[in-house]
Amino acid sequence: MIRSALRWPLAAFTGLFLFFLYAPFGVLGILSFQSGPEGGPQFPIIHWSTYWYRHLFGLTPPSRVAPLPIGDALVRSLTLAFLTMVTATVLGVISAQAFREKFRFSGVVFYLIVLGMIVPGVLVGLGTALLANHLGVARHWWSTSFVTHVVYTFPFAFLVMLAIFNRFDRSVEEASWSLGVSPFRTFNKVTLPLIFPGVLSAMLFAFTLSYDEFPRTLFTAGGAQTLPLAIYGTFSIEIHPNIFAFGVLTTLFSFALLAVYGLLMALSVRRARRVAIQEDVR
């Protein structure tokens, strides 16, 4: 009775949540198809065109609307996100592996790690910038920004891997050790394939959080801009539909990452099931 009474309110709440989540993407998609070169944000659309998508790639004649400075900024953001993803995931796996055993002050260490995702990004970025200035260290996207991004994304990777290891069956590792296999080879051949779905989740978290990070990067990137900073600099001056077109392409890129993640996850689960079936047959 209670379940049936809550069904429609929960369905309505879920529908509203999805609407507010994806409605901005729909608005961006509509406004990005305005005519150019003088078209500004307007609705309803009078003339539909792909002008602003072609404008992003420099395929239109010069106009008063300058191209978005996304070339070098995009490369910096992707490079920074990739480096952050690798570092944060490796640290997350190692730290979660360490927490499989009880050790002194484990609770304190746990909260110190999680603190990186709780402290506001503005304070972390500003504090890092002040510390770098005090020590005479030049601020760059590949140094100070990289450190702040790792500090921010590492706790997410750690919590994901901690949850994976809490559900991990240690008897598989113990069986490998009893056969004389070294701990390193056991982790490489036994543990890593089983926890690989969690590793993928940690990598996705770290990459997307770093790629989209703004407040920490604002204070620590120095003179070179990452993609969020470049878009903000353009957006704060004047709004043109090329920003909407770029927003649509960026969102589609995020969906593509999710699709690749889903495919790799499905392959990993299928492989794990195949290994389990083979062990049962033996």
pLDDT band per the 50, 70, 90 thresholds, residue 281? very low
pTM: 0.82
Write down the pLDDT at residue 132.
93
Q: What are phi and psi of 48, to 5 degrees?
A: -85, 140
d(CA 93, CA 182): 19
pLDDT averaged over every residue in the chain: 85
Which domains occur in the chain, in start order?
A: 31-65+240-282 (no CATH), 71-227 (1.10.3720.10)
The per-residue pLDDT for 125 is: 93
pLDDT digits 0-9 by tens, 118-169: 999 999 999 999 999 999 999 999 999 999 999 999 999 999 999 999 888 7
Give the pLDDT confidence of 63-116 residue by residue, as tens digits.
777 777 788 888 999 999 999 999 999 999 999 999 988 888 889 999 999 998
User: Average of pLDDT values for 215-239?
Assistant: 84
Helix ranges (H only) for the chain are 2-31, 51-56, 71-98, 106-114, 121-135, 144-166, 170-178, 183-186, 192-211, 215-220, 227-235, 241-281
Name, in order, each residue with C-beta under 8 angstroms of 117's C-beta and a sequence gap of 6 or more.
Answer: 152, 155, 156
Q: Estimate the crossing angle of helix 144-166 against helix 192-211, to 10 degrees.
A: 140
Closest CA to 70 of 60, 57, 83: 57
pLDDT band at 265 (very low <50, low <70, confident <90, very high): confident
Q: What local confidence, expressed as pLDDT, does residue 49 receive?
A: 84
Taking alpha carbons only, the member of 87, 92, 93, 200 closest to residue 146 is 87
Q: What is the pLDDT of residues 161-214, one digit of tens each?
A: 999 998 887 888 888 888 888 888 888 888 888 888 889 989 998 999 999 899
Q: Is a pLDDT exceeding 90 seen at residue 245?
A: no
